[in-house]
Chain A
Amino acid sequence: MRTQATYNTGTTTSCTHCGEICADGTINDGEHVFCCTGCASVYALLQEHDLCAYYQGDVPAGTSQQGVERDSTTYAILDDRSVSSRFIEYADARRFRVRFALPTIHCASCVWLLERLPHIQAGLISTEVDLQRKSITIDADPRVLTVRSIAELLRSLGYEPLIHVEGTEVSRLQQHKEATRRLYLRLGVAGFAMGNIMMFSIAQYLAHGAQSVVIDPVLMSVFTWLSIGLSIPVLTYSASPWLRSAWAALRQRTVNLDVPVALGITTLFVRSVVDMATGSGEGFLDSFAGLVFFLLIGRVFQQKAFDAVTFDRTVRSFFPLSVRRSTSHGDEVVAIDALNVADTIVIRNGEVIPADAVLMSPVGYVDYSFVTGESVPVECTHGALIYAGGKAVGAALQLTVTMPVSKSYLASLWERSSGRTSRDGYRQLSDRFGKWFVWSVLAVASIGFFAWLPDVSMAMNVFTAVVIIACPCALTLAAPITFGTGMGILGRMKMYAKNIGVLRTLATVRAVVFDKTGTLTSSQPTVAYHGEVLTRDQRDAIIAVASQSTHPMSRGLVAGSTPLQFAEHVVEIPGYGITGTAGGHQIAIGSESFIKLNGFNMDARLDTQSTLIAIDGVVVGEIVVEPSLRAGVPEMILDLRGRGMQCQVVTGDSQRDQALLSESFRDDEMTFRATPADKVAHLEQLRESAQVLMIGDGLNDMSAMAVADVSIAVTENTSTLAPASDMIIPATQVHRIGGLLRYAHALRGVVITAVWFTMAYNVAVITVALTGHLTPVITAIMMPLSSLLVIGISVGGAHVYARRLS
Chain B
Amino acid sequence: MPLLVICSILVAGGFLLAFLVATRRGQYDDLGTPAVRMLFDDNEEN
Contacts and interface: CB of A to CB of B under 8 A. Distances in A.
Contact of A181 (B5, B16, B29, B33): B29
Contacts of A189: 16, 20
Contact of A196 (B12, B31, B39): B12
Given A111-B36, A188-B20, A192-B16, A180 B1 contact: no
Contact of B36 (A108, A128, A184, A195): A108
Given A188-B23, A192-B12, A196-B9, 18 more contacts: A108-B36, A111-B37, A128-B33, A129-B33, A131-B36, A132-B31, A132-B32, A133-B30, A184-B28, A185-B24, A188-B19, A188-B20, A189-B20, A195-B12, A216-B1, A219-B5, A222-B5, A223-B5
Given A130-B33, A180-B29, A112 B40 contact: yes
Contacts of B40: 53, 108, 112
Interface string A102-135: 0000001001100110010000000011111100
A416 interface: no
A785 B27 CA distance: 32
A116 B15 CA distance: 34
A226 interface: yes
Interface band, chain A? 20 to 34
A628 to B, nearest CB: 36
Nearest to A50: B44
Contacts of A222: 2, 5-6
A190 to B, nearest CB: 11
B28 A226 contact: no
A218 interface: yes
Interface band, chain B? 20 to 34
15 contacts: A53-B40, A119-B46, A129-B33, A130-B32, A130-B33, A131-B32, A181-B29, A184-B23, A188-B20, A189-B16, A192-B13, A192-B16, A195-B12, A218-B2, A219-B2
Interface of B: 1-2, 5-6, 9, 12-13, 15-16, 19-20, 23-24, 26, 28-33, 36-37, 39-40, 44, 46
Nearest to A118: B46
Contacts of B44: 116, 119
Contacts of B31: 132
A188 B9 contact: no
Contacts of B36: 108, 111, 131
A177 interface: yes
Contacts of A184: 23, 28
Contacts of A188: 16, 19-20, 23
Most buried by B among A129, A184, A189, A226: A184
B30 A132 contact: yes
Contacts of A112: 40
A22 to B, nearest CB: 28
Nearest to A221: B2
A131 B33 contact: yes
B32 to A, nearest CB: 4
B16 A177 contact: no
Contacts of B29: 130, 177, 180-181
